[in-house]
Amino acid sequence: MKQGRFVAVGTTKQIRELSSPGTQVVGAEGMTITPGFIDAHTHPASADISELLKVNCDLRTIAAIKQAMSRRAISTRAGQWVMGFKYDDTKLRDRRLLTRTDLDEAVPTHPAQVLHRGGHTAVYNSVAFKLAGVVDNGWKT
């Protein structure tokens, strides 16, 4: 590294041949060191739309998520969805997952969805399940 930037990449042997007495050596003990990566997989357009139309659920407690969803439900026309995004269970102080029951309490009369930050999972309330034709057969949460 020179002035905080990588100046070369290669095998340990190749890089050691480039070093001089003033070279800072980092003992990585056999690990691979790489320069920072730029994440080319982004969705700026959909992220902007989500910020405008959905409830930001990047919050630290389930109570805060429920409150945010409930506030949005108050201003949402009957029959319209209440949608949340950026939910991240790993950041919750509650140390538990958001559940259908939580959303039923927060949004009892509208279909509701809270999308996980990763974008591949979501939590829905009972109204949403009913719209999808899924019936309550004694599910727990």
pLDDT more than 90, % of the chain: 57
Over the range 78-117, which residues count as b (16 or more CB within 10 Å of their CB) and which as e? Answer: eeebbbbbbbeeeebeeeeebebebbbebbeebbbbbbbe
Q: Which residue has the tokens 């409830």?
A: 55
pLDDT of amino acid 11? 81
Q: How confident is the model at residue 26 (pLDDT cuts 50, 70, 90)?
A: confident
**pLDDT tens across 75-128, in order?**
999 999 999 999 999 999 999 999 999 999 999 999 999 999 988 999 999 999
Average pLDDT over residues 55-66: 98
Average pLDDT over residues 49-78: 96
pLDDT of amino acid 63? 98
Dihedral, 126, 127, 131, 137 alpha carbons, nearest 10: 30
Number of domain units in the chain = 1
Average pLDDT over residues 54-58: 97
The two structure tokens encoding residue 9: 């990449």
Q: Which helix (H) or strand (E) is 86 found in, with range?
A: strand 82-87
Q: What is the CATH number of the domain that holds 59?
A: 3.10.310.70
Nearest partner of 74 among 49, 50, 109, judged by Cα: 109
The answer to the question of residue 34 being in a domain is no
3-state helix, strand and coil shares in percent for the chain, rounded to the nearest 5:
35, 15, 55
The answer to the question of residue 22 being in a domain is no
pLDDT of amino acid 1? 64
Q: How far apart are CA 126 and CA 116, in angstroms?
A: 18
pLDDT above 70 (res 50): yes
Strands 82-87 and 122-124 come out as: unpaired
Q: How far apart are CA 141 and CA 138, in angstroms?
A: 9
The answer to the question of residue 19 being in a domain is no
Q: Which domain holds residue 90?
A: 44-131
